[in-house]
Amino acid sequence: MYLAQTLTDLCEQINQLEETRRQGFLAWLNKHHRTHTPAQRETLLVQLYVWLSGLDQDGQRWELRLLENEIAWWRNLSATRLWLFLNKEHYE
């Protein structure tokens, strides 16, 4: 139950991100998780659950903390830094 509720809360935080920030987070998640099926808003909860349920408790805690930190990073990124970051990514 703990994992399911935690992931529900995380997905709510992700969905509250402005669209550009959410897409940036999902792009980061796809690179971090190295998934063949890109995470999308509609499938995110299930994908995270399948991935994290395969980890031991220490691995789950580490990844959940990383996800929380990454969400906060995208949420708190200034508009100027976001614009610079997205333009850099676009041209690489």
Over the stretch 1-45, which tens digit does the pLDDT of each residue have?
589 999 999 999 999 999 999 988 988 898 887 766 667 777 899
Q: Is the pLDDT of residue 51 over 60?
A: yes
Q: Is the pLDDT of residue 92 over 60?
A: no
pLDDT at position 30 is: 86
Q: How far apart are CA 38 and CA 31, in angstroms?
A: 9
Q: Is 15 helix (H, G, I), strand (E, B) or coil?
A: helix
What type of residue is 13?
Q
